[in-house]
Structures are given as structure tokens and as C-alpha cells.
Amino acid sequence: MRIGIALGDPNGIGPEIAIKAAQRISDTVLVGDGFVIRDTAARLGVPAPEFVDAPGLDPAGYAPGQLDPRAGKATVAYAQAAIHLAESRRVDAVIGC
């Protein structure tokens, strides 16, 4: 079973949780902004897991630990992209962080 993991709030703990989950669960794909996934993986000192780049956040709105309404909109975009992957049968299940 292939699982799509939507990142959640790119400025919150979602990306870190998603990356750690992908390390423990086989056959996963993260769904979110590639630059967020790569940066979070680098901060954790691990390789970036497989991901589908689903642009939702302007890099100017990326500020880990800071509240920003743009990050909230990105959260919705990531979830919608993950649902689209399920509808197109590229993943079997979707979870959000």
C-alpha cells in the first residue's frame, strides 16, 4: 500500500513529522513544496524522502516556527494535491500531518 503524506503547515511541525514517518514507513511519498521538504530534511540531517512537489507556498512565506496565513493556505494546497494523487490512483491512502 502506497501512502501519500500531506505536509501540513510548512512553518509548523508537520514537515518534520512527515519526514520522520517516511523514514519508518515503507512505500510513502510526501506531498508539499519541495524546498520545504529539502530544507527540513537538511535541518534534521537526513536525506530528503521521495516527494511530489506540490507548490503551495511562496518561499517568502517560509519561516519555520512563525505564524503566517500563507502557510495555512499552503496546508490546504498540500491536502488537495494528496487527494488528487489518491483519486488518480498514484497512492492508496492519504494522511496529513
| pTM listed for this prediction | 0.94
Burial letters 13-41, b for 16+ CB under 10 A, else e: ebbbbbbbbbeeeeebbbbbbeebbebbb
The pLDDT value recorded for residue 41 is 98
Q: Domain spans of the chain?
A: 3-96
Spans of the chain below 50 pLDDT: none
Strands 93-96 and 51-53: unpaired
Query: What is the average pLDDT score of the chain?
Result: 97
Report pLDDT digits (tens) over 62-78.
Answer: 999 999 999 999 999 99
Give the C-alpha distances (Å, rounded to integers) separating 39 from 11, 47, 48, 49: 11, 10, 9, 12
The pLDDT value recorded for residue 81 is 98
Nearest residue to 18 via CA among 79, 92, 90: 79
Q: Which residues contact 88 (CB under 8 A, 6 or more apart)?
A: none
The pLDDT value recorded for residue 83 is 98
The pLDDT value recorded for residue 85 is 98
Locate 29 and state its grid cell. 511519498
